Structure 1
């Protein structure tokens, strides 16, 4: 089906439709040649009216019983309307009339693919390859089957074959990027797109996918350059602007990112994601009124935008409006209850409001969802320590160490808690482990408990490690 068909509808085609509808009104039987019937069928397909299109096909088959084209169109419509058994029957009839028509096997392959009968799908696409004049689209269909089979290596082979035949196929470029991404083969992806660009330097899709691969390898400067080329070739390429904005954020170039995000509004309607991204940039620049304004625009467009609700809370927290911030953190948590960042902010706000039990409960959630957050373990244990719950504080750090055995900060904190508990020998064992892990960070110990800076036992152990 041609995408532009409805807009290029010729006068002849329009007359055929009018004549057909007149026939129905008069309850009569007019004769139409095969081309006229095709036009009428396509007209109803364009109008998303498969029932009327199928009705036209019945008339067409009565007048042209040996035209396989109508059986193929019938099968397409049966497929679209989920009448798969009827689609298979129509294709069998079409094959008997015109076994060399590749469209029969492509359609049958697509139906088998939708039924997860992948080997039968591949068999049909192979038959299509034998009879089709142009094969680039069929090779892509084969790649889709391999993707569904989770065989991305084979999918890549067929996508590349397709692109060799038709370098203009943007779908192929995006599918290839998807496969490389799944296989986490960004270097291979970069090599492919660089070679592709050598052959076709004006392919905005290739530049865009190259940029995305650089982005995934944290090569943000290179990514920005490649996004710029994509934008140079296609200046209304909203996704390239948006992703360029994301790359600028990664480089802490927030003011530039804001300008780039705003450029997307020239080429596509504003959306909640972009408003939220702009809000985050203003937040990082500590322009909290602007940040809050964009976060509010985001949730107005999409009330399920958890990050934007959270962002509003963060701006209020910055202004020490802790009680107000809790309301927005809760809205974020209602939408994304397993996000440790949301719970961390909630725990901190409760702590600042002196609601210690609520803070403790929120910290437990943070650590349930992200047990490798060293900062959260330290803050949680501090809350317990300040409440005089020394044993719980030390047990918390013990649990933290199990989850983060390489974090020197945790061992130094354990030394402080064990000294506070009077367990000096055990404290010194932890101190040695801390010094082995990272001797440079020993100052943490004295920052947390300044009175230990005069402790002879501790100083002796430290001097052994730091000459």
Structure 2
């Protein structure tokens, strides 16, 4: 491969500079060469070498405005803002129409969180610059810092009018539209952008994302397809196309899209999982299991993989296999509430009430405060005859769900079972007030209490 002339010169300058540092010989460079060398070292994070190059550059070119502006940039980088500002004022006296002076002034104000002042200086820079796109981009970023998304959006749009290929500005425009909840307007903007730049895979991809968010999956697939026509190695577009195809129940096409991501790069656990889910929807249980197993092999810490295998066996009512896999998952992560809830549910289905109670208890302990988890846990205690513990747990659940009839009817049944009639009737009254239809809970869970004449009379009295 042959380097073009400018790149050859650039590499020669770097080699010559590094040779000078090693031999302590002094070579001459023009000021622009020094600027490129300094910026190269800053870009790769070698600040000390950048400072050496700056010192040598200023020794050879003490009046170079370009080098002094680089010096300002380094002072700002080191948070020496007062020194940087003083130097900028000296440069302004010499070159009052140099746009870089105003850009660096804006940079200083931005660092001080004075973003409105930064925008003022960037607007002055617009009067003198030839690179309007860069300045509009910087203005957009300042408005983002101020959370002024509307002004930021307009600035990034102006940037794209000057430089249609600026991908970061395109992403930022879409971000602003989305943040402002203007997804339809974003799609319309992207249509006009695509008219000007039809081969922008990023614009098609962003359109697809927006259509997907609006549940317009047909148009989402179409946009992602165009994106992959332009760049047939665009992994993100294939991945999201697969998601949209799944929504359309086009499972074979979705599998192809996910498989393409695996061909282009190392397989991701997400793609493997989705392929497994698609095969399961197609009724191909052998392939589904194969890909679920590949998922957990690829990423043993991904809980969705273990859950997919466990839930697969639960749906087949193969509870022994489901228990085997949920135990494997718990051996890897014994603080995962999703695993513990499934451990409880599987044991409940197998009438292992003690193990089920333990599973639900651990699920709540690790942060699962969903109503059904509390109720499953309490129901296991009820099955085991632990009425007092069940009551204490329901009182705890009521802190999260203070107006929940399902809790009140269970409390009523438990208290009445313990012959605590006053408390039982209080909670029965609450349950009837909240939802009369849910009285069936009392009938199903506490049939002996339900059949009591006193309870039936209480319910009849309440209905009157």
TM-score greater than 0.5 by the shorter chain: yes
In structure 2, do the counterparts of structure 1 residues 220 and 15 end up closer, same or farther at CA, with 3 Å as the change threshold?
A: closer
Bigger mean CA deviation after superposition, 46-55 or 397-406: 397-406
Q: Separation in 2 of the partners of 1:253 and 1:394?
A: 49
Deviation of 1:115 (Å): 4.5
Q: Which of residues 204, 215, 220 is equivalent to 2:217?
A: 220
TM-score of the pair, normalised by structure 2:
0.74
Contact kept, 8 Å, 1:275 with 1:298, in 2: the verdict is no
In structure 2, do the counterparts of structure 1 residues 18 and 344 end up closer, same or farther at CA, with 3 Å as the change threshold?
A: closer
Q: Deviations along 1:383-442, whole A, 9 cap, x unmatched?
A: 23312345765786787688568988778888987997898987698468546xxx7x99
In structure 2, do the counterparts of structure 1 residues 128 and 344 end up closer, same or farther at CA, with 3 Å as the change threshold?
A: farther
Q: Which of residues 235, 240, 248 is equivalent to 1:238?
A: 235
Tell me the matched-pair count: 444
Does structure 1 residue 105 correspond to structure 2 residue 78? Answer: no
Does structure 1 residue 148 correspond to structure 2 residue 149? Answer: no
TM-score of the pair, normalised by structure 1:
0.74
Contact kept, 8 Å, 1:291 with 1:315, in 2: the verdict is no
Q: Deviations along 1:327-361, whole A, 9 cap, x unmatched?
A: 42363454xx6xx5344224335655542552242
Q: Separation in 1 of the partners of 2:78 and 2:266?
A: 32
Q: Deviations along 1:23-78, whole A, 9 cap, x unmatched?
A: 55554444333344345445545665332233222222222222211122233344
Please give the secondary structure, in 2, of the residue aligned with 1:320: helix
Does structure 1 residue 136 correspond to structure 2 residue 133? Answer: yes
Contact kept, 8 Å, 2:268 with 2:298, in 1: the verdict is no
Does structure 1 residue 177 correspond to structure 2 residue 178? Answer: no
Q: Separation in 1 of the partners of 2:308 and 2:79?
A: 44
Q: Which residue of 2 aligns with 1:3?
A: none
Bigger mean CA deviation after superposition, 156-165 or 272-281: 272-281
Contact kept, 8 Å, 1:306 with 1:331, in 2: the verdict is no
In structure 2, do the counterparts of structure 1 residues 355 and 319 end up closer, same or farther at CA, with 3 Å as the change threshold?
A: closer
Q: Which of residues 333, 344, 347 is equivalent to 2:344?
A: 347
Contact kept, 8 Å, 1:140 with 1:158, in 2: the verdict is yes
Q: Separation in 2 of the partners of 1:363 and 1:403?
A: 15
Does structure 1 residue 64 correspond to structure 2 residue 65? Answer: no
Q: Separation in 1 of the partners of 2:368 and 2:8?
A: 65
Q: Which residue of 1 aligns with 2:207?
A: 210
Contact kept, 8 Å, 2:141 with 2:152, in 1: the verdict is yes
Please give the secondary structure, in 1, of the residue aligned with 2:97: coil
Contact kept, 8 Å, 1:282 with 1:291, in 2: the verdict is no
Deviation of 1:291 (Å): 0.4
Bigger mean CA deviation after superposition, 74-83 or 443-452: 443-452
In structure 2, do the counterparts of structure 1 residues 416 and 242 end up closer, same or farther at CA, with 3 Å as the change threshold?
A: farther
Q: Separation in 2 of the partners of 1:309 and 1:208?
A: 31
In structure 2, do the counterparts of structure 1 residues 48 and 399 end up closer, same or farther at CA, with 3 Å as the change threshold?
A: closer
Unpaired runs of 5+ in structure 2?
Answer: none
Deviation of 1:242 (Å): 1.7
Q: Separation in 2 of the partners of 1:80 and 1:269?
A: 38
Contact kept, 8 Å, 1:207 with 1:227, in 2: the verdict is yes
